[in-house]
Amino acid sequence: MLVSRIMRTPVTTITPDTSVRAAAALMAELDLGVLPVCVHGRPIGILTDRDIVIRWVPNAVADSSIGPIMTPGIVTCCADQTVEQAAYLMSDRRLRRLVVVDIAGKIVGIVTLGDIANDASEELAGQTLGEIVEEP
């Protein structure tokens, strides 16, 4: 099965200039724990609710852009990869979600361990999660 069959679309994205408060409000409104950070449709990082809590809240004096607190160097997969390849990448990089890009590198979706469990294979998702949470 291909990633394109189970990925979530459309994907709500933000830019590095988005304010932390605006990003947090968007996450709350859409009930999301992650927002890909894009420039011209290409992912450059990812902002998680954990990034906000760990990197911004302890030092927050005023609202600022998410650029300094986002996780850079985003890991992506392609829509035409197999779910097994995506799961291997998740386990290898210890990630619970992957941004899906097209051949030009533009974001087209997002795939999570939950998507794999619900729409492809609970066994594969369980094995992948086990490898993610295993001590290095």
Instruction: Read off the pLDDT of residues 30-68 as tens digits, 9 standing for 90 and up.
Output: 999 999 999 999 999 999 999 999 888 777 777 888 888
Both tokens assigned to 82: 């197999």
Burial class (CB in 10 A: 0-12, 13-18, 19+), 136: exposed
pTM score, two decimals? 0.85
Contacts of 28 (CB under 8 A, 6+ apart): none
d(CA 59, CA 73) in angstroms, rounded, equals 23
Look at residues 135, 97, 101, 92 and name the one whose alpha carbon lies nearest to residue 116.
97
Task: Show the domains of the chain with their CATH numbers.
Answer: 3-134 (3.10.580.10)
Instruction: State the pLDDT confidence band at 69, using cuts at 50, 70 and 90.
Output: confident
